[in-house]
């Protein structure tokens, strides 16, 4: 019982009463759209990086072939 006496129930109750559910619900509603946009942006950057790496590698391969031949 001593552990339960140390819990600040009054402070928790005050913060729970001050909680506004409107902004919380709107944030939860917008979270999937934000996540989808974030993933799309990271995917776009990854594709650009891969294309740049392929281009650099292709050009480096052409340079080594032209030097060898």
Number of compact structural domains in the chain? 1
**Dist CA 61 CA 68 (whole Å):** 11
Query: What is the per-residue pLDDT for 65?
Result: 78
> Does the pTM of the predicted model rise above 0.85?
no
Query: What is the per-residue pLDDT for 61?
Result: 92
Query: What is the per-residue pLDDT for 19?
Result: 84
Task: For residue 13, give its domain range.
Answer: 2-68
Query: What is the per-residue pLDDT for 69?
Result: 58
Mean pLDDT by 10 residues, the chain (69 residues): 80 88 93 97 98 97 79
**Dist CA 57 CA 50 (whole Å):** 10
Query: What is the per-residue pLDDT for 6?
Result: 86
């Amino acid at each position: 019982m001593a552990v339960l006496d140390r819990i600040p129930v009054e402070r928790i109750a005050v913060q729970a009463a001050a909680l506004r559910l409107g902004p919380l619900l709107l944030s939860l509603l917008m979270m999937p759209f934000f996540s989808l946009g974030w993933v799309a942006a990271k995917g776009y950057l990854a594709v650009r990086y891969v294309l740049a790496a392929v281009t650099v590698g292709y050009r480096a391969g052409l340079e080594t072939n032209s030097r060898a031949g």
